[in-house]
A and B are shown apart, each in its own frame.
Chain A
Amino acid sequence: MYDATRLPKSRAIHKSQNTDSTGVCSPHLSLKLELQFKRMAASSAVTANYVLKPPPYALDALEPHMSKQTLEFHWGKHHRAYVENLKKQVLGTELEGKPLEHIIHSTYNNGELLPAFNNAAQAWNHEFFWESMKPGGGGKPSGELLALLERDFTSYEKFYEEFNAAAATQFGAGWAWLAYANDKLKVVKTPNAVNPLVLGSFPLLTIDVWEHAYYLDFQNRRPDYIKTFMTNLVSWEAVSARLEAAKAASSSSS
Chain B
Amino acid sequence: MAIRCVASRKTLAGLKETSSRLLGFRGVQTFTLPDLPYDYGALEPAISGEIMQIHHQKHHQAYVTNYNNALEQLDQAVNKGDASTVVKLQSAIKFNGGGHVNHSIFWKNLAPVQEGGGEPPKGSLGSAIDTHFGSPEGLVKKMSAEGAAVQGSGWVWLGLDKELKKLVVDTTANQDPLVTKGGSLVPLVGIDVWEHAYYLQYKNVRPEYLKNVWKVINWKYASEVYEKECN
Q: How far is the CB of A199 from chain B (nearest CB, A)?
A: 17
Q: Decide if A172 touches B174 in the complex (CB within 8 Å).
A: yes
Q: Decide if A171 touches B195 in the complex (CB within 8 Å).
A: no
- Number of A-B residue pairs, CB cutoff 8 Å, is 52
Q: State which of B59, B95, B173, B174 has its C-beta within 8 Å of the C-beta of A220.
A: B59
Interface positions of B from 188 to 227, Cβ below 8 Å from A: 194-196, 199-200, 203-204
Contacts of A191 in B (CB 8 A): 152
Q: Which residue of B lies closest to A81 (CB)?
A: B204
Q: Decide if B152 touches A212 in the complex (CB within 8 Å).
A: no
Interface positions of A from 196 to 254, Cβ below 8 Å from B: 210-212, 215-216, 219-220
Interface size class of A (residues with CB under 8 A): 10 to 19
> Does A6 touch B at the CB level, under 8 Å?
no
Q: State which of B95, B151, B200 has its C-beta within 8 Å of the C-beta of A215.
A: B200
> Does A47 touch B at the CB level, under 8 Å?
no
> Does B54 touch A at the CB level, under 8 Å?
yes
Contacts of B199 in A (CB 8 A): 211-212, 215-216
Chain B contributes a number of interface residues (CB within 8 A of A) equal to: 20
Contacts of A192 in B (CB 8 A): 151-152
Known: A171-B91, A171-B95. Is A220-B196 also a contact (CB below 8 A)?
Answer: yes
Q: How far is the CB of A193 from chain B (nearest CB, A)?
A: 7
Known: A78-B204, A81-B204, A220-B62. Is A211-B196 also a contact (CB below 8 A)?
Answer: yes
> Does B58 touch A at the CB level, under 8 Å?
yes
> Does A158 touch B at the CB level, under 8 Å?
no
> Does B153 touch A at the CB level, under 8 Å?
yes
Q: Which residues of A are in contact with B by a Cβ distance under 8 Å?
A: 73, 77-78, 81, 118, 171-174, 191-193, 210-212, 215-216, 219-220
Q: How far is the CB of A104 from chain B (nearest CB, A)?
A: 15
Contacts of A215 in B (CB 8 A): 195-196, 199-200
Contacts of A118 in B (CB 8 A): 151
Q: Cα distance A118–B173 when bound, in Å?
A: 15
Q: Cα distance A81–B148 when bound, in Å?
A: 14
Q: How far is the CB of B58 from chain A (nearest CB, A)?
A: 4
Q: Cα distance A143–B194 when bound, in Å?
A: 41
Q: Decide if B174 touches A77 in the complex (CB within 8 Å).
A: no
Q: Decide if A211 touches B62 in the complex (CB within 8 Å).
A: no
Closest A-B pairs by Cβ, 4 of them: A211-B195, A173-B152, A172-B153, A192-B152
Name 7 A/B residue pairs within 8 A (Cβ), A-sorted: A172-B153, A172-B154, A173-B195, A193-B152, A211-B153, A215-B195, A219-B54
Q: Cα distance A173–B151 when bound, in Å?
A: 9
Contacts of B204 in A (CB 8 A): 73, 77-78, 81, 212
Q: Decide if A172 touches B54 in the complex (CB within 8 Å).
A: no
Q: Cα distance A176–B54 when bound, in Å?
A: 25
Q: Which residue of A lies closest to B95 (CB)?
A: A171
Contacts of A193 in B (CB 8 A): 151-152
Q: Which residue of B lies closest to A220 (CB)?
A: B58
